[in-house]
DNA sequence: GTCCAGGATCGGA
DNA sequence: TCCGATCATGGA
């Protein structure tokens, strides 16, 4: 199994980053990472070295998932000096990255996310996987396919902690299962056209669409504003969003600010 | 008991 | 176009 030396990579940071909900800390300090129907275990060896445990044929998949083809050093170094708060925040998340997650999994997960804490989202997503996902090795389950979720009933979904979001999940799963929304084809769309497609899903507003664009389609100009980012805008940017001025770096900077505000500043 | 969480939707102004 | 109420659920 490959051992990689990675300067800007840290699973504890990614685990807490709020972009993925199926990373699981293990008792030995490793992380089990599930995505779609794939699974890997990543063990810290110290000195920025990480051991990846996955099937040999999955190497390209995880390379892409963790965005290992991108050198993040310039992404930290190029933050303008005049952006003092952003630089201060970035100094606290050296291992942060923007993942490339499965679109359907990301879409459903963030529909579930509305007005939930990150631990609550993890629980909810995990229950959906256990109920509708294909069993994998070591007691884990794949993320459900659109077909499986679309075949559920609203009442059934509610028993997994979805609450009022149950019809949203069902409606969106049906859009995908019936081919009325082609998430693979969406990868070729412009940012605006992609957002339009996502907003057509029940339970998807600008914020959830923004998360899917950033965390699944790697649209780095997308900077979703949740309650934490709204606090940052009010506290540090005089209530005026800085994201449009940041262009193609907006999503990356947003993720730095989110991590910093939630895990370092807190309150 | 209250308050809050990676919000969206609806009705009414 | 904008605003307020409302929507389940779990944890602090």
**Spacing of A150 CA from C7 C1' in Å:** 22
In this structure, is the CB of residue A205 within 7 Å of any atom belonging to strand B?
Answer: yes
Which residue of the set A24, A38, A116, A207 is catalytic? Answer: A207
Where on strand C do bases come within 7 A of a protein Cβ? 7-11
Q: Specify whether A24 is catalytic.
A: no
> What is the arrangement of strands in the sheet containing A38-46, beginning at the earlier edge strand?
A3-5, A49-53, A38-46, A31-35, A23-25
**Nearest nucleotide from residue A202 CA, by C1' atom:** B8
pLDDT digits (tens, 9 = 90+) for A5-22: 999 999 999 999 999 999
**Spacing of A116 CA from C11 C1' in Å:** 10
Q: In the predicted model, what is the mean pLDDT of residues A234-254? A: 97
- pTM surpassing 0.95? yes
Helix (H, G, I), strand (E, B) or coil at A78: coil
In this structure, is the CB of residue A117 within 7 Å of any atom belonging to strand C?
Answer: yes
In this structure, is the CB of residue A135 within 7 Å of any atom belonging to strand C?
Answer: no
Share of chain A above pLDDT 70, in %: 100
Q: What tokens were used for A148?
A: 């499986």
pLDDT digits (tens, 9 = 90+) for A177-210: 999 999 999 999 999 999 999 999 999 999 999 9
pLDDT digits (tens, 9 = 90+) for A72-91: 999 999 999 999 999 999 99
> A1 pLDDT exceeds 80?
no
> A142 pLDDT exceeds 80?
yes
pLDDT of amino acid A198: 98
Share of chain A above pLDDT 90, in %: 99
Quick one: which of A21, A62, A18 has its CA closest to A40?
A: A62
**Nearest nucleotide from residue A201 CA, by C1' atom:** B8
Backbone angles phi, psi at A51, to 5 degrees: -100, 125
pLDDT of amino acid A10: 98
CB burial string A231-263: b at 16+ within 10 A, e below? ebbeebeeeebbbeebeebbbbbbbbbbbbbbe
Mean pLDDT score across all residues of chain A: 98
pLDDT of amino acid A224: 98
């Amino acid at each position: 199994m490959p051992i990689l030396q990675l300067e800007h990579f840290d699973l504890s940071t990614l685990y807490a980053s709020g972009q993925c909900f199926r990373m699981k800390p293990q008792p030995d300090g490793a992380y089990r990472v599930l995505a779609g129907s794939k699974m890997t275990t990543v063990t810290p060896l110290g000195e920025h070295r990480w051991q990846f445990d996955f099937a040999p044929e999955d190497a390209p998949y995880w390379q892409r998932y963790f965005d290992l083809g991108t050198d993040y050093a310039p992404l930290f170094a190029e933050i303008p000096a005049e952006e003092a708060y952003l630089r201060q925040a970035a100094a606290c998340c050296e291992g942060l990255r923007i993942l490339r997650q499965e679109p359907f999994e990301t879409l459903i997960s963030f529909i579930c996310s509305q007005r939930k804490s990150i631990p609550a989202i993890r629980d909810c997503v995990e229950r959906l996987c256990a109920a509708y996902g294909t069993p994998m090795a070591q007691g884990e389950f794949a993320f459900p396919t659109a077909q499986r979720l679309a075949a559920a009933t609203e009442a059934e979904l509610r028993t997994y902690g979805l609450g009022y979001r149950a019809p949203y999940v069902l409606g969106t799963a049906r859009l995908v299962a019936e081919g009325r929304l082609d998430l693979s084809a969406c990868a070729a769309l412009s940012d605006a056209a992609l957002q339009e497609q996502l907003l057509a899903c029940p339970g998807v507003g600008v914020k959830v669409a923004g998360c899917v664009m950033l965390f699944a389609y790697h649209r780095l100009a997308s900077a979703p504003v949740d309650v934490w980012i709204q606090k940052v805008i009010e506290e540090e940017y005089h209530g005026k969003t800085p994201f449009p001025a940041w262009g193609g770096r907006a999503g990356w900077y947003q993720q730095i600010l989110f991590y910093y505000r939630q895990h370092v500043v807190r309150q």
